[in-house]
Amino acid sequence: MAIRDQFILQPSDSFNMNGRQEADQGLELYDSPQYGSVTGTVRDTNGGPLENAVVKLFTANNIPFEHTVTNAQGVYLIDQIPSGNYNITSSKQGYLIPNNIPVGVIPNQESTVNITMQTDTNVEKLTIYGIISDITGKPIEGATVELFEQTGSDRVSLGTVSTNSQGQYLFTDLDGATFIIVAGKFGYLPVENWVGTLTPPGFFGTNLTIAPDPEFNSGTVSGIVKSHSTGQPIANAIVALYAITGQTEKIINMTRTNALGVYLFGEVPTGNYRVKATVQTNS
């Protein structure tokens, strides 16, 4: 018969005795928590024990409670579990995670749950992952990353993903091939990286840096040229864009208005400018 505590061992405060003194040391004992345990064996589909499999116990609401690791015989034990209902599962690299198995824990009893794990057929595949950053090293969220397989002069797209808030991307379940990654985002110049020829299985990290597109960081200047006396738009007016540096003005672009008197300059970088317009005729 197993010996179990009905109450928690409760100590008194320390005290001194002097001769025939009568010491009064009453004790209040607290009920021992009603614990149970869960044990079992983790095996593969052939019945072989799986060593170093992680066995995790969750509450009935799937909140993590405790975990342990199987021994060489695939056996696990989780004890000191308060009575109640739980879920249990296991994990091991190269195997699929089984569905949660319900288990009831009864005070002062041992519940047995054996777990069978199936081989993950994708474990022999490749994974390519990495981070997309700007030139300062800051991760870029929402960048587009496309993976290509290169065969001779032919290039075939294997898929496109977007980076998360940490700039991370991930491609999984890949067969061996020669890979190329292209990354970009609106406002940045696309970049291409030759990953190389990879052979499964394995995890291969490839980080890329993309630089701002200078054209994206430029602006436009537009307007309508009108006659002061009539208020009507002037077609075919000459419009010049001047860059101002100190007291110097320099023409950097020139255009003419359309039939509605509209002009437009594109790709204007940061700076100080002035626009001048006129109409000239040959006589």
Q: Which CATH superfamily is domain 35-117 in?
A: Immunoglobulins (2.60.40.10)
Query: Would you place residue 1 in the very low, low, confident or very high pLDDT band (cuts 50, 70, 90)?
Result: very low
Alpha carbon separation from 13 to 5, 21, 207, 215 (Å, rounded) = 21, 17, 63, 79
Tens-place pLDDT, residues 172-182:
989 999 999 99
Query: Which pLDDT band holds residue 99 (cuts at 50, 70, 90)?
Result: very high
Range(s) of the chain covered by CATH 2.60.40.10: 35-117, 219-278
| CATH number listed for the domain at residues 219-278 | 2.60.40.10
Average pLDDT (109-126) is 90
Assign domain 125-209 to a CATH class. Answer: mainly beta
pLDDT tens by residue, 154-194: 999 999 999 999 999 999 989 999 999 999 998 899 999 99
Q: CA–CA separation, 139 vs 131, rounded Å?
A: 7
Instruction: State how far the alpha carbon of 90 is from the alpha carbons of 83, 114, 166, 168, 173, in Å.
Output: 21, 10, 29, 27, 22
**pLDDT score recorded for residue 3:** 67
Percentage of the chain surpassing pLDDT 70?
98
Report how far apart, in Å, the C-alpha atoms of 258 and of each of 93, 226, 268 are: 68, 12, 20
* Distance separating alpha carbons of residues 172 and 75, to the nearest angstrom: 32
pLDDT digits (tens, 9 = 90+) for 45-98: 999 999 999 999 999 999 999 999 999 999 999 999 999 999 999 999 889 999
Average pLDDT, the chain: 91
Residues of each domain in the chain carrying CATH 2.60.40.1120: 125-209
- Percentage above 90 pLDDT, the chain: 72
The predicted pLDDT at position 141 comes to 95
**Each residue's pLDDT tens digit, 13-57:** 888 888 888 888 888 888 777 889 999 999 999 999 999 999 999
Per-residue pLDDT tens over the stretch 247-263: 999 999 999 999 999 99
Higher per-residue pLDDT: 231 or 1: 231
pTM of the model: 0.55
